[in-house]
Amino acid sequence: MAFILKNIAGYMQAYFLNFVEQGIVRDLRDDAYEQLHKLPISYFKSERVGNLISIIVNDVTAVQNSVSATFLNLIREPLSIVVFLGIAISISWQLTLISLITLPFSAGIISWIGIKLRKYSTQIQEKIADITSVIQETISGVKIVKAFGTEDYENKKFRKETEGYLKMVLRITRIRNLSSPISETLSVMVGVVIIYYGGTLVLSTNQIKASEFLGFLFAIFQLIPPIKELSSVNNRIQESSAAGARIFDIIDTNPDIVNKPDAKEVKEFNSDITFEKVGFAYPDEPTEMVLEDINFTIKKGEVVALVGPSGGGKSTLVDLIPRFYDVTSGAIKLDGEDIRDVRMEDLRKFIGIVTQEIILFNDSIKNNICYGSKNFSEEKIYEAAKIANAHTFISEMPNGYDTEIGERGVKLSGGQRQRIAIARALLKNPDIMIFDEATSALDNESEKLVQEALDNLMTSRTVVVIAHRLSTIQNADKILVLQAGRVVQAGTHNSLLEQGGLYKKLYEMQFRDK
């Protein structure tokens, strides 16, 4: 009966510990992932994707490895130590004192090992992150690798990382396994001293009875396993706290673009967006002004186009509107209200974005179009797809709207992907549309379809478009020509052609190319 009870209890204990351990791991992972969404775009420019993935996947696991074992040992082992130490003291406090003579020495060694382990463990986690990064970059750049025939080069790079990892693991193993033999050797040395000294006491002075001395020895030797266990627990704590520090680096990063405590709720976009003396420098290069003295107004319903040579600041300028970055000087106002005083979720609700790089998720076409929202009827989805010139090709697919898109949309043509992205933006039906016209060349038929989709998207909506083909924006209400971070010309297509200058030059260049 007792046997059965013991096993049931053992089973329950194992399960319960795992339950706690896995719960902690899940919470850590969730917290770290949720934090990613709070961090500003600039964070992702300065951190490698592989490193972030590795922290959420691997470092969290490294923490898990120590949670339950440590938890149990930290209660059990000190208890045994107290009990046996008590017995030893009660028999002879003098002998006990002698036994503890190596204590400071052992503590010094154990803490030295702990410090080393922590350092190496951080390096190991960084190595795993490097490995993850190489894999992630190779997979995203698989076409380039194949086209350039650089498989060997990539393999070498990868082997160098795994070799480095192996060296680190061996190094940490050497240190980690030192603690047990060292503490055992020390204990045995103490044991010898005690037996000798205690033996003398028993034989010559009779201060202590032989049976008591045996009891004492028993108690002292019972102290060894818990001390050994505790030092290995210390090792595990040091190693996992290195991983923990990396996780909390993410969790504790304060996002710098957040709602003010008294941020205003805004329900409607009524009249205009205004740039007032806007200046901007990227946080990592604060002295390099990317935009300077930008002043203009986008009235509700207007199409405003940004053109100009590459590097002029067009993408940067549109990134300021949804507060991907905050202005460095001046202000952007939404209906007269500084966008930094408005609730960010309200601001972003007004805005739809189609970027050059079309991001499709590994999901059905339908879910890609109504991304993140379940309350669109089929009719609405079809309607958006029709306006985006996407309905026909989607309907011809094997499973229609339920067709699963391979990871990152590899099974679709560039033009089809763009039209799905446009349908997605149309369905959200934002008041303000930001559109970064794709520079990638499409075939004529596809370009016509995409252009039509765009024209549909632009009607009766406020639009900011970064235009690379000047032919697409001849009807824009306002064209801003950006060069080296300043607006050098502004006007309509015709007025700008009349003015001459950069716009005319750009236009003639494209016209000549045609």
Given the rule CB under 6 A, which residues bind ligand ADP? 45, 282, 284-285, 290, 310-316
Cβ contacts of 293 within 8 Å, gap of 6 or more: 277, 278, 279, 330, 486
| Of 42 and 403, CB closest to ligand ADP | 42
| Count of residues making up the chain | 514
| 34 vs 27: CA distance, rounded Å | 10
Q: Which is nearer to ligand ADP, 183 or 472 (CB)?
A: 472
Radius of gyration of the chain (CA): 34
Q: Which conformational region is residue 500 in: left (phi greater than 0), alpha (psi within -120 to 50 degrees), or beta?
A: left
Beta carbon of residue 320, minimum distance to ligand ADP (angstroms, whole number): 10
The pair of structure tokens assigned to 476 is 């824009």
Identity of the residue, 408 or 468, whose beta carbon is nearer to ligand ADP in the bound complex: 468
Query: Do 32 and 251 form a contact (C-beta atoms < 8 A)?
Result: yes
- In the complex, minimum distance from the CB of residue 281 to ligand ADP, in angstroms, rounded to a whole number: 8
State which residue, 45 or 167, has the beta carbon closest to ligand ADP: 45
| Closest separation in Å from C-beta 105 to ligand ADP | 53
Looking at the Cβ atoms of 161 and 292, the one nearer to ligand ADP is: 292
Q: Which two tokens stand for residue 90?
A: 């009660």
Exposure of 445 by Cβ count < 10 A (0-12 exposed, 13-18 middle, 19+ buried)? exposed
Rank residues 23 and 311 by Cβ distance to ligand ADP and give the closer one: 311
Q: Closest by alpha carbon to 508, among 470, 468, 467, 478?
A: 470
Q: Rounded to the nearest whole angstrom, what is the least distance from the CB of residue 43 to ligand ADP in the complex? A: 11
CB of 439 to ligand ADP, least distance (A): 10
- Cβ closest to ligand ADP, residue 18 vs residue 439: 439
Q: Which is nearer to ligand ADP, 217 or 291 (CB)?
A: 291
Q: Taking each helix axis from N to C terminus, what angle separates 103-140 and 210-251, rounded to the nearest 10 degrees?
A: 30
Selection from 98, 71, 96, 102 nearest residue 84 by Cα:
96
Report the Cα 25 to chain-centroid distance in Å: 16
* Contact present, 122 and 63 (Cβ < 8 Å): no
Q: Measured from the CB atom, is 412 or 480 closer to ligand ADP?
A: 480
Closest CA to 182 of 233, 242, 232: 232
| H or E segment to which residue 186 belongs | helix 179-200
Q: What's the closest the beta carbon of residue 285 comes to ligand ADP, in angstroms?
A: 5
Q: CB of 238: closest distance to ligand ADP in angstroms? A: 37
As measured in angstroms, the least distance from the Cβ of 300 to ligand ADP is 25
CA distance 435 to 305: 9
Which residue lies nearer to ligand ADP by CB, 50 or 313? 313
Q: Which of 140, 514, 510 is nearest to 357 (CA)?
A: 140
Give the bridge partners for 352, in sequence order: 433
Nearest CA among 275, 288, 286, 281 for reference residue 321: 275
CB of 339 to ligand ADP, least distance (A): 19
**Which of 137, 147, 174 shows the shortest CA–CA distance to 51?**
137
- In the bound state with ligand ADP, the residue whose beta carbon lies nearer, of 199 and 311, is 311
Closest separation between CB of residue 499 and ligand ADP, Å?
Answer: 21
CA 214 remoteness from chain centre: 60
CB of 39 to ligand ADP, least distance (A): 14
